[in-house]
Amino acid sequence: MPEKRADLRLRVVQSRFQNAFFHELAEAIVDEATRLGVPADVVTSVVDTEPDDVFVLLPTHEYAVLEGGQFLEDPRLAKRCIGITAEQPASSHFDTNVYYGHKLGAVFDFSTLSVKRYQAEGIAAEHLPFGWTPTWDKFVPDADEHELDVLFLGCATPRREHALSKIGRQLWSRRSRLILSDNAAPNTGDHAAFVTGDRKRELLAGTKVLVNVHQADEPYFEWLRAAEAAHCGAVMLSETSLHTEPFKHDEHLVFSALSTMPHALAALLEDPARLKRLRRNAYELIKENPFSAGVEKLVSVAHDLRKTHDGHRLRLGPSRTQPFRQQVTPSWERQTDGVDAVRQAIREIRLDIIDLRRRVSTDPTIDPTPVIDHRTPAWDRRTPRVSVIMALYNHEPYVVEALESAASGSYNDIEIIVVDDCSNDGSNQTVRKWMDKSPHVPMTLVRHPVNRGLPRSRNEAFRHARGELVFVLDSDNAIVPTGLERLVAAIDAEPDASFAYGVLQRFDSTGPVGLMGVWPWEPWRLRYGNYIDAMALIKHEALTKLEGYTLDRRLHGWEDYELWCRIAESGGHAAHVQTIVGRYRQSATSMLSLTNISQDAGFDAVRESCPRLMSGALELQVDALGDWLASIRGEREARDVWLSNWEAQNA
């Protein structure tokens, strides 16, 4: 057992409300310092400093934002503090760290790139190399079985979503999972879009390849993520980076430009011997570079700071009394102006034109009753579990692709119902030809003699659906080969769920351009707008209870959003598949283009049908639970501090 150094106590200062990952890092620092014989603990509340105390802010900017950095304006305290940072130089957080870095006794960063940037700002920052620490070690030398082929962990940014959409084919054809977190507020613990602690390390240990994409254009190496992967035996495939030492390409991990990443990922997964070599080399490298060496360096600097300060007993800690929350106002609560009124008027005029065209083009002598236009021989042979419903209007160039995607997937217990909403571009004939070539697919084509619009077409298709589950597929989109199978599995795993949805690859004429549907079911998000596309697997019973899609004209283009809101309002929930299940065609003429001219009338309608959700009542219930848990945690921490002080006094 190392001899205790009585002249120093290292205290890692943490916010009560900060990202959980930094709590993990703080625990690793305390563990390693204790092994070196240095008394160390984690501080999350106001404390009276002792003469031997040196404080470590982890990370500096987050503590200042979440708890207030007033005490850092006092040089007597600031010079007893060491800042540890892990932010990319191009970010605003880095600028905050620079501001406080000039006040602190010392600054460390895990990235040599960031250290050079601090030094360029006149801050004598030092590199804190992260290495092997026993509490993170989940490596199994001869592991051959893995639950996942591909995993992504990280906050969602447009750049990352665009890059991940480019490897879509590898994601949907493999066992993959995309855990994209929302960094609009700190992720304080485990939830559907954020994993931490042992659950994260077990996930990494069960993964073949961890994909890494930079948040921004700067080639900043995510050193901590690489270290975590090496601890657990996941091979990291990273976008090309700078200052990666001691990690080397094709020796410990693989680097690739984004343009070649799909090929690099496919090649890696198809070479088990290479994977085995890389995971073994990465683990041996991290084991040869223990984190204790970095913490020893940290302790040495702390000793120097201890010698220089005067030992005043001061008070250090948070100045906030309430949890930090970003104040986000729904767009419909903001003050409207003349431009909003003009936009709403334009939207109403365009909707009037659509209605007028329908009336002008409709022969008053035609019976508007929908008719069954065509059926395949397989329709009467069985009743499948899943009904794929499709509203069709003038999508002749795309509808065959949509039908093929549904019929040729890995899940084949389906039927297809297409409602042609009086197309005039040959869509009807194209569907009939496809049906004649696919007699083995149970399918019905229903025709509207007059154009009736999207929600009525979907409701008509639903009326013919015989399946226990209903999958909504627009005629210009596609389900990927494994998509339906994964959605069915998700809803089977959550029997109480009303529907299941997954991540969609957005694409246009140039190819993949991004993702949508990345967030899990979180009803409070719906108050701020839609984040779930219509492409979802819905229980027949739930859709019947809700009486299908709304026909309110104010919700033109928002029918699916309003449906999700009503599900949330009634206490229902959805299962989320964290990988790509479908492909969403993005075009200037899509439904969203008209919908987004003005959103005021749509939000008014949703507020009428879902008053509790849109008033924030459901959000307040979640906040109240979080505040209660935070208060319990605070009371427990205060008790632990009191007990520790009592034991020290009575030792």
Q: Which residues pair with 153 in a beta bridge?
A: 179
Distances (CA, A) of 572 to 489, 612, 620: 18, 13, 17
Determine the Cα–Cα distance for residues 568 and 346; give it in Å rounded to an integer: 31
Q: Specify the pLDDT at position 579.
A: 98
140-280 shares the fold of 9-131+291-316: yes
DSSP type of residue 239: E
The C-alpha angle 445, 450, 454, rounded to 5 degrees, equals 70
What is the enclosing helix (H) or strand (E) of 648?
A: helix 617-649
Alpha-carbon span 43 to 2, nearest angstrom: 23
Q: Are strands 386-392 and 414-420 parallel, antiparallel or unpaired?
A: parallel
pLDDT of residue 602: 83
Q: What is the DSSP letter of 634?
A: H
Supply the pTM of this predicted model.
Answer: 0.88
Its CATH class, for the domain covering 140-280, is: alpha beta
Tell me the CA distances in angstroms from 186 to 25, 194, 326, 373, 454, one per residue in order.
Answer: 15, 10, 10, 55, 40
DSSP string for 496-524: T-SEEEEEEEEEETTEEEEEE--S---HH
- Tokens 């191009």 correspond to 90
Domain at 9-131+291-316: CATH code: 3.40.50
Every domain of the chain and the residues it spans: 9-131+291-316, 140-280, 368-610, 616-651
d(CA 604, CA 190): 35
Please tell me the CATH code under which domain 368-610 is placed: 3.90.550.10
> What is d(CA 399, CA 388) in angstroms, rounded to the nearest whole number?
13
Residues of the chain with pLDDT under 50: 1, 592, 597, 620-633, 635-636, 638-639, 641-642
Give the DSSP letter string of 280-343. Answer: HHHHHHHHHSBHHHHHHHHHHHHHHHHHHS-----EES---SS--------GGGSPP-HHHHHH
Structure tokens at 572: 């229902």
Of 647, 507, 504, the C-alpha closest to 581 is: 504
